[in-house]
Structure 1
Amino acid sequence: MSRSQIPLLAVLVVLAAVSICGCMGQETVLSGEEAAEVLVYADPIAENVMQGFNEGNYTVYSRDFSPEMKQALDEAAFEQNREEVTSRIGLYESRSDPVVTETGDYIAVTYRAKFEQEDGVALRFVFLEGDASHQLHGLWFNSPKLRS
């Protein structure tokens, strides 16, 4: 291989790597009937989780968790996380504007939520695609006040 071919080969390897990485993590927004089908189960689960959050009731909060979620977010972790969230943004009040996305084997529903001390908090609920039990596999609260 000549010296002039090495830079070309390096560029092709980098382009291939970027292309592969881009395909693996792409998030596709679902709309219409597909999104509506997801929201049929996601909305009641989100309401239940947030009710349990406000009440400080781990049993209600974790009712729809997958076994892995219950192990990762046990009652002690719930109490600690709840204290951190409520001390920064208060209790949950409402949610709106759900966006349903698909990434690989997962479906995510992200809501804009209003808390007592901050509006526009992102609540992200993640489900395993094709799981008829609709167990929750991921849950995130994200906002400027929570990141500070």
Structure 2
Amino acid sequence: MNLRRIPLLTALLLIAAVLASGCMSQETVVSDDVKAEVLEYADPIADNVMQGFNEGNYALYSRDFSPEMRQALDEAAFEQNREDVTSRIGLYESRSDPVVTETGEHIAVTYKAKFEQEDGVALRFVFKKDDESHQLHGLWFNSPKLRS
């Protein structure tokens, strides 16, 4: 066997392994039928979360949280996060048609939202696929002003 080919073969196998592992957790956009099913529960939850956010009402904001979410984002953390967000981009005003994606055991709904001082804020709501109670397992606000 030619010794020059061994490093090349090893490199190709390593690249193939990295590409294969990256595909296993790749986020994919769901079909329109799945999107419609997900939005039946996700839209009302997003409404509650954002209304609670605007009103400073933790009970409404966290109503659909999983126990882990409620523990990770307690009322004190909510108040601090809310102050940080509103001081940078203001209160929530509206959101656009979402993108629904899946990764492994999770479904994510990402809206582009308008806040008083910034448009195009990404609101990401994450649910577990097989959770019939549709509890919220993840929530992120992301925008240039929030990252600065």
1:111 and 2:111 equivalent? yes
Q: Percent identity?
A: 79
Q: Deviations over 1:4-29 (max 9, x none)?
A: 24312331332133223321221110
Counterpart code for 1:112: K
Distance 1:116 1:17 in 2: 46
User: Where does structure 1 lack aligned partners over 5 or more consecutive residues?
Assistant: none
Counterpart code for 1:143: S
Partner of 1:138: 138
Partner of 2:67: 67
SS in 1 for 2:82: helix
Partner of 1:127: 127
Distance 1:72 1:10 in 2: 43
Distance 2:126 2:14 in 1: 31
TM-score (norm 2): 0.94
Moved over 3 A (4+): none
Partner of 1:92: 92
TM-score (norm 1): 0.94
> Number of residues paired by the alignment?
148
User: Where does structure 2 lack aligned partners over 5 or more consecutive residues?
Assistant: none
Q: Deviations over 1:47-72 (max 9, x none)?
A: 00001100111111001000111111
Distance 1:21 1:111 in 2: 28
1:82 and 2:82 equivalent? yes
Shift of 1:2: 5.9
SS in 2 for 1:81: helix
